[in-house]
Amino acid sequence: MAGGGRIRNGSYRTGRDRSVMRCFLIAVVALATTAPAVAAIYDLPPDGQDVVGAVATVTASYEDTLVDIARRHGLGYQDIVRANPGVNVWVPGEGTEVVLPSRFVLPPGPRTGLVLNLAEYRMYYFPQAKAGETPKVHTYPMSIGRMDWETPLGRTRIVAMARHPSWYPPQSVRDEHAADGDPLPRVVPAGPDNPLGTRAMRLGIPGYLIHGTNRPAGVGMRVSHGCIRMFPEDVEFLFDRIAVNAAVRIIDVPVKIGWDGEALVAEVHPLLEVPQRLPEETEEHLQTLDADVQQPEVESLSKDPLTHVTEQFIAATAERAGMLDWDVVEALVGRADGIPGVVGEGIKNAATSAAFE
């Protein structure tokens, strides 16, 4: 055999073979740590259980930004920034431990179709399982509408789907761009300058889409003109697994509470009606994230977050009694970092529950 090496049942390789294999393994590891993730997919918990995933940590490299790390692990901008207070978004530093908030309380309501939780900047897809298959849930980060272009709530469906769509900007968007000295054409063809990216799914709500983007660094923020933006790899993955007429439910639930075994778990996000200013170091990178990013004015709370806690607790314990530790709840609400925490437990006697007093 050329090269002087013999191969017998794969048990012997030449030095060159071993060197090639080492290089191949290094390349695979490098690809695995730098390529964007495509969908977080979990087995759907049984009825009465509501938590999937796990919080993890990774070590930042010299070249990393938090935005890079987030995309590699299926997270958006707000996900990674809120979970890592005090870490510089653009220069986290080599060796810095970065928290990945990849544990989720499933949104309330039916586990069917697409559920878009605006307060969470995240969508959940519950595909119909085939006979004999374990039901799954997919989850993806997303961008939502700015304060002046809010994404509407309610139930709708996907009514049309397109690969490599052209963009026909509405007159209101063209007027806004013209006022900023950046006029838009009537039609933006498919390609790198098209903000819809490579895939678009039209909703039954007139004028609203779920689509990709040509500015993926801004995914997970409040930047769009009301539409839902996804990472390019995510929208392409979802596009191939969903169909016209799929149900879509758009909700605004900043506090989710559910069961994980006998524990009550809460996941808390800031209220959407309270604009969240970006970290100071991000102001210098707004155009890198997305041309539509704006720094909002901070306003006072219009609704007590604990009201949301009470509403979700009542819903979670409608058929199964539980008790909250309100000190833990208040601490979790104070952080509002999107990382789920145990806030209570099930009880056998509903009369002893603080919620029933």
pLDDT tens figures, 11-40: 323 343 333 333 333 333 333 445 666 679
Q: For residue 242, is it within any domain?
A: no
Instruction: Answer for the pair 98, 75: CB distance below 8 angstroms, yes or no.
Output: no
pTM, 2 dp: 0.80
Burial of 174 (0-12, 13-18, 19+ CB in 10 A): middle
Amino acid at 158: I
Q: What would the pLDDT profile of 105-120 be if each residue is shown by its tens digit?
A: 999 999 999 999 999 9
Number of domains composing the chain: 1
Length of the chain: 357
Q: Which residues pair with 202 in a beta bridge?
A: 160, 209
List pLDDT tens digits, range 67-78: 999 999 999 999
pLDDT score at 227: 85
How far is Cα 184 from Cα 178, in angstroms, rounded to an integer?
Answer: 7
Q: What is the pLDDT of residue 79?
A: 96
Task: Give dist(CA 276, CA 281) in Å, integer.
Answer: 14
- Spell out the residues 6+ positions from residue 115 whose beta carbon is closer than 8 angstroms to its own: 107, 109, 123, 124, 125, 126, 248, 249, 251
Cβ–Cβ < 8 Å for 10, 16: no
Helix-, strand-, coil-residue percentages of the chain, each rounded to 5: 25, 25, 50
| pLDDT tens by residue, 92-147 | 999 999 999 999 999 999 999 999 999 999 999 999 999 999 999 999 999 987 65
CB of 243 within 8 A of CB of 262?
Answer: no
Residue 3 lies in a domain: no
Is residue 348 assigned to a domain? yes
Give the pLDDT confidence score for residue 173 in this predicted structure: 74
Residue 284 located in a structural domain: yes
Q: Above 50 in pLDDT, residue 4?
A: no
**With bands split at pLDDT 50, 70 and 90, how would you rate the model's confidence at 182?**
confident
Catalytic choice (73, 138, 225, 227): 227
Q: Quote the domain boundaries for residue 304.
A: 255-356
- pLDDT tops 80 at residue 8: no
As a whole number, the mean pLDDT across the chain is 81
Which position has the higher pLDDT, 266 or 283?
266
Predicted confidence band at 353 (pLDDT cuts at 50, 70, 90)? very low
Whole-angstrom Cα distance, residue 235 to residue 225?
18
Query: Could you tell me which residue, 206 or 75, shows the higher pLDDT?
Result: 75
Please say if 211 is a catalytic residue: yes
Residue 223 has pLDDT above 60, yes or no: yes
pLDDT at 37: 66
> Residue 65 pLDDT more than 80?
yes
| 331: in domain | yes
249 in any annotated domain: no
Catalytic annotation, pick one of 73, 211, 225, 308 = 211
pLDDT for 288 equals: 52
- Please state, in angstroms and rounded to a whole number, the distance separating the CA atoms of residues 87 and 40: 24
pLDDT value for 180: 74
The 10 Å CB-count burial string (b at 16+, else e) for 256-293 is: bbbbbeeebbbbbbbbbebbbebeeebeebbeebbebb
In a domain, residue 83? The reply is no
Q: What pLDDT is attached to residue 207?
A: 83
Q: What is the pLDDT of residues 298-352, one digit of tens each?
A: 444 456 889 999 999 999 999 999 999 999 999 999 999 999 999 999 997 655 4
Share of the chain above pLDDT 70, in %: 76
Q: Is 227 a catalytic residue?
A: yes
Q: Is residue 205 part of a domain?
A: no
More confident of the two residues 295 and 132: 132
- Identify the three-state secondary structure at position 70: helix
Which DSSP string do the residues of 217-230 spell out, in sequence order? GGTTSEEESSSEE-
